[in-house]
Amino acid sequence: MGKPSPPEANHAESLHTQHLSDRFLDEDALDLQVDDLLPLYDDGNSRTPLLPNTPSSVPFEDLIRPFKTDVKTGNVFYLDRRLDEDPQLLEKYMLWWAQMPPRVFVQIQGSHTEWKDRNGDSAKDTTETIIDFDVSVELTPYHSDSVNRVSRVTIRTVENSEKARRGTRLRRRAHGANETLQSIEEAWLANKPTLAEWCHRYCASHAGLKCMTLQRRIIGLDENYVQQKLKAMLHATRYCGEVTVSFPVMKERVDVYNDCKTNMWRLNGWIAFLCFITLMFPFCWLYLFFRTKRFEVVFADWPFSFQQQDGSRRYVGISEDQWCNIWGPSICRAALERRKQVTLDQRDIILASQMPDPVYGNNNGCIIL
């Protein structure tokens, strides 16, 4: 028996050839098909992770579980004596945590102001801000090369000339690097402490309260260009409200506190609530601020683009302009539909390409949703 012939591939129609999206594309817009779109980042185990070097298995015999995870920000807090006493174990965990990318979103919000007249008394007129739409798009899939399926993360420690908390309460430069230009240049040339050295310093610190922090960051993203491009797209739909574009980040920090009762209490939500209602919060905050020595010296930089030697930029995935051309029509469609507190996905791109342009019925050429 012969082998069955392979099924024909379904070639999706280009998203940039019809309807609303035509008005927002440059002549050199990226020609991406629906099947070429990157999947959204997902924490679940039901899908294959986009980033190949994201740890799928635990490289430790005895995994240290987080003490607390902030639901709103995704930041993780650890309290374990082993991380306070073993600098090599702390370094291994820092390297492991750095392989997990931060979740960056582009949040677009539109609003307008309305005047409210109380009982016809003009002296008591007040203003009220009305939210017209509030949508988000996740940028996490674009931190990796979707063709070669390679992600790039750089783990670095703070430079000697940078102001940071180096086992201190306040941010400062390294010892010997003052405000003069010559001292800053000398600090750049001097050897900075490595990750292993900072882990040894943290474990050797005799501070009663201390915290070692890993900060995940996105670099090489032109946020100003994305803001201006999206605002121009939304204003092209004759929306006259105020458009705000922000870049919130989830899973940005990993904090390792030394194992003690005080740190357990500071991370307890009920104790924090009790401090608020008893008006003890200012005193507790001052005590913790002056008592805690912080090591904010380790960074995991996830690049959106690289700066090359000739001054040009090399993108890991796609450029800001290409991203705006892909997502701009679906963002405009969601704005006109007054969608709020939603995260768009590939289905919104497909729907925006298939639906006809909206009909505007405002005589003055300007609409407020």
Q: Is residue 89 part of a domain?
A: yes
For 189-243, the pLDDT digits (tens) are 568 999 999 999 999 999 999 999 999 999 999 999 999 999 999 999 888 899 9
What pLDDT, on the 0 to 100 scale, is given for residue 354?
Answer: 79
What pLDDT, on the 0 to 100 scale, is given for residue 63?
Answer: 86
For 140-157, the pLDDT digits (tens) are 888 766 555 566 889 999
Q: Which domain holds residue 338?
A: 60-354
Q: Is residue 365 part of a domain?
A: no
* Three-state secondary structure readout of the chain: CCCCCCCCCCCCCCCCCCHHHHHHCCCCCCCCCHHHCCCCCCCCCCCCCCCCCCCCCCCCCCCCCCCEECCCCCCEEEECHHHHHCHHHHHHHHHHHHCCCCEEEEEEEEEEEEEEEECCEEEEEEEEEEEEEEEEEECHHHHEECCCCEECCEEEECCCCCCECEEECCCECCCCCCCCHHHHHHHHHCCCCCHHHHHHHHHHCCCCEEEEEEEEEEECCCHHHHHHHHHHHHHHCCECCEEEEECCEECCEEEEECCCHHHHHHCCHHHHHHHHHCCCHHHHHHHHHHHEEEEEEEEEEEECEEECCCCCEEECCCCHHHHHHHHHHHHHHHHHCCCEEEECCHHHHHHHHHCCCCCCCCCCCCECC
What pLDDT, on the 0 to 100 scale, is given for residue 340?
Answer: 94
What pLDDT, on the 0 to 100 scale, is given for residue 335?
Answer: 92
What pLDDT, on the 0 to 100 scale, is given for residue 161?
Answer: 86
Q: Is residue 18 part of a domain?
A: no
Q: Is residue 51 part of a domain?
A: no
Q: Is residue 38 part of a domain?
A: no
pTM, entire model: 0.75
User: Within the chain, which residues score under 70 in pLDDT?
Assistant: 1-61, 117-124, 144-151, 176-190, 356-369
Domain count, the chain: 1
What pLDDT, on the 0 to 100 scale, is given for residue 310?
Answer: 86
